[in-house]
Structure 1
């Protein structure tokens, strides 16, 4: 399987948005919590309050793992500044479209920042049309993919 084909499988599994578990760690103290994510530009975006514990933890250690339904993403989180300052306000528009209630309740707060996660390594557990399980290991740095049947 080629890298671009594996990326397309990931894109299909993730869709336009998902609620994902976000894991981070600081000083050997791991935390996990759910975040509402949007997918565009081959990256994962979520917003958060710059004063939350998770955000402070990301400022100190930007290596994260995220998970949804058999897809785990390992990557680097970057603070892109206030949600309303994003060029073109892409996140804000998509968030309003897909997550209206949350958008309406929180998006206008001046402490809401945009976090961008760049995937480095992705592991996908899935089944083929014959219900045979397999794993895909997608290395975004090397632009390689490994397909591994699972017995």
Structure 2
């Protein structure tokens, strides 16, 4: 499969928003929890309080994994600073649109930071039209995609 088709398939599977499980690790201690993710223009974005344990972990060790259903993404977390300081407020408007209850419940303007997951490697488990299982593997660093069928 070519790179463009594979990335289109990835972002179609993810949609515009997802509750995704985020794994972080610090000093060989791994934790996982759900985060409310916005998927916008090929970017995976979420907000979190800068004082949370997960935030401290990902700031000290930005290597993370995040998954939803059959999609696992390994990458790096990038801190874009306070959500309220984002130029154009694109994330804030999308978050309000898609996660209205969370938006209104957690309006910590002085401590909410914007995190982006920069994918390095993606593994998608799927089935073809004949119900034959396969993995779609995407290497973002090399911009290569490969299908491996599963027996």
Task: Give yes or no for TM over 0.5.
Answer: yes
Q: Secondary structure at the match of 2:51?
A: coil
In 1: Cα distance, 2:107 partner to 2:117 partner: 19
Displacement of 1:2: 0.1
Question: Is 1:150 matched with 2:150?
Answer: yes
Q: Which moved more, 1:118-127 or 1:39-48?
A: 39-48
Structure 2: unaligned runs, 5 residues or longer? none
TM-score for both structures, normalised by structure 2:
0.97
State whether residues 43 and 119 of structure 1, in contact with CA within 8 Å, keep that contact through their aligned partners in structure 2: no
In 2: Cα distance, 1:133 partner to 1:89 partner: 41
In 1: Cα distance, 2:132 partner to 2:87 partner: 44
Displacement of 1:110: 1.4
Match of 1:55 in 2: 55
Deviating above 6 A after TM superposition, structure 1's stretches of 4 or more consecutive aligned residues are none
Q: Kindly report which structure 2 residues correspond to 1:1-150, keeping only aligned pairs within 5 A, or say none.
A: 1-150=1-150
Q: What count of residue pairs does the alignment treat as equivalent?
A: 151
> How big is the alpha-carbon RMSD for the aligned residues of Structure 1 and Structure 2?
0.9
State whether residues 83 and 109 of structure 2, in contact with CA within 8 Å, keep that contact through their aligned partners in structure 1: no
